[in-house]
Amino acid sequence: MRFEHLVQINDPLMPLLTELTRDQLWRGLVLRAEDPARFIAGLDRATIDARRELSGVTELERTLDYGSFRVRDRVRLFPRQRSEIHTAAGASWPASRMAITIEEPSPDALFLRFVYEAESEVAGEGGLDEVTIALRQQAYEGADLDTVVRIRELAEAGHLG
């Protein structure tokens, strides 16, 4: 399965919306990686098990505790550009990848592109049905919009510079 969507961050047609800078947006994505419980509903606790710097890229190995189950993943942070999360397969879910990329087609025109990919989840042939896929995509979009709202709240409170 692959799902992708774009969220506009700054909108000149909405003057009441506080504009975010690329740096604020990036700091928000880093905070989402380092403290995901502030962003993900239902996440009880997150532990960073390892942190490495590789050619300017920060890599985090994390354990996410949802109470009834745990998820292990690896986050790669490409400074001011992209966050990638690689989730290991579990007993009831396939390995997956999520990427969040900052796009700036013109000065101050910021967007976040969210891309989700999961192994061995295709419609039909014993895979997911179309309704389940559509519901999952709606859930992804909702969570991503919540992330942007949270980043905006943190920026307005002065926590992102």
Domain spans, the chain: 2-156
What is the C-alpha radius of gyration for the chain, rounded to an integer number of angstroms?
16
Between the two ends of the chain, the Cα-to-Cα distance in Å is 37
**At residue 15, what are phi and psi to the nearest 5 degrees?**
-65, -20
What are the pLDDT digits (tens) for 99-121?
A: 999 999 988 789 999 999 988 65
The DSSP H or E segment spanning 130 is helix 130-156
Longest dimension (CA), the chain: 50
Task: For domain 2-156, give the fold.
Answer: Alpha-D-Glucose-1,6-Bisphosphate; Chain A, domain 4 (3.30.530)
What was the pLDDT predicted at 125?
45
Query: Can you tell me the distance from the alpha carbon of 1 to that of 127, in angstroms, rounded to the nearest whole number?
Result: 10
**Contacts (Cβ under 8 Å, ≥6 apart) of 2:** 115, 116, 117
pLDDT attached to residue 120: 64
pLDDT for position 91: 83
**Looking at residue 94, what is its pLDDT?**
86
Predicted confidence at residue 130, as pLDDT, reads 85
Res 124: pLDDT = 47
User: What pLDDT score was predicted for residue 127?
Assistant: 61
pLDDT given for residue 109 in this prediction: 87
Residues in the chain predicted with pLDDT less than 70, given as ranges, are 120-128
The reported pLDDT for the residue numbered 77 is 98
